[in-house]
Amino acid sequence: MSQILVAWLLADRARADVLAAAHDGLDDEERARAARFANASTLRDFVLGRWLMRSELAKWTGALAAGWRFPLDAHGRPIPRHRDRTAPDTPSINLSHGGGLVAVVVASDGPVGIDVESVDRELPSRRLDRFLSQEEHAALAGLEPLARRERFWRIWTLKEALLKARGTGIAGGLASIAFGFDHADRPCILRRDGADDDAVEWRLVECRPTETTRLSIACGGIGAMHGEVRVERRTAAMD
């Protein structure tokens, strides 16, 4: 049975010493990436994201935080590696930041993905069918504006989380996956086109860390279906 942890913090409330430690903990490649960020909040979120991944992996495995490296795969997803070859088996991990919040999901086994978004903003100005499947677009069409916005961001965070867990990100095709909601308003996958993981069962979890943000995770594998999911705020890292 999988153990699944979501850890998050508010980036604009991160303590100064945490930010300093986060900067100091970057490896050479990450420092080079950080130097290219022109936006201060984007830089802050990137640095805190790396710190949060290192911190949570260190707690999970007992391996030193400074030893973790995150080379990117073909789709830009950070893959955790430790310089100590004797480090315990590496869990799955994924990162997201949005709406001033930085969050990671860690799982003992199976693929995982996470997305967090600010939900108090208006819907994209472009046609929504660019972001949604036909089923999703039709379901939104009959809703009142506020309900439509709420439903859109639920679908979007679920879609991003699942596509990240599958390893493709949005390049995997936003319309290739269709989400719906059952009679108890729980999310479910209606359709997956062209998926090479048809045998994988996916667990979907949603939460609202703050009034203005929504967070969704997708966890794959039999163990994830009944594993414990913990959502924890890293209060000690914030003022």
Quote the pLDDT of residue 221.
86
Per the structure, the count of domains in the chain is 1
Instruction: State pLDDT tens for residues 115-145.
Output: 999 999 888 766 777 788 889 989 998 899 9
Look up the pTM and report it.
0.93
- Give residue for tokens 């679920």: 158
Residue type present at position 94: N
When the pLDDT of each residue in the chain is averaged and rounded to a whole number, the result is 91
The domain spanning residue 227 has which CATH number? Answer: 3.90.470.20
Quote the pLDDT of residue 195.
59
Q: What is the C-alpha to C-alpha distance for residues 90 and 87, in angstroms, rounded to an integer?
A: 8
Quote the pLDDT of residue 125.
64
Q: What is the C-alpha to C-alpha distance for residues 93 and 73, in angstroms, rounded to an integer?
A: 13
Q: Which domain holds residue 223?
A: 3-237
Closest-CA residue to 97 (of 41, 17, 54, 59): 41
Residue type present at position 228: E
The two beta strands, 228-233 and 81-82, are unpaired
Identify the band that residue 15 occupies on the pLDDT scale cut at 50, 70 and 90: very high
Instruction: State pLDDT tens for residues 175-207.
Output: 788 999 999 999 999 988 765 556 678 999 999
Q: What is the C-alpha to C-alpha distance for residues 80 and 93, in angstroms, rounded to an integer?
A: 7
Q: What is the C-alpha to C-alpha distance for residues 160 and 216, in angstroms, rounded to an integer?
A: 9
Instruction: Map residue 214 onto helix, strand or coil.
Output: strand
Q: What is the C-alpha to C-alpha distance for residues 140 and 143, in angstroms, rounded to an integer?
A: 6
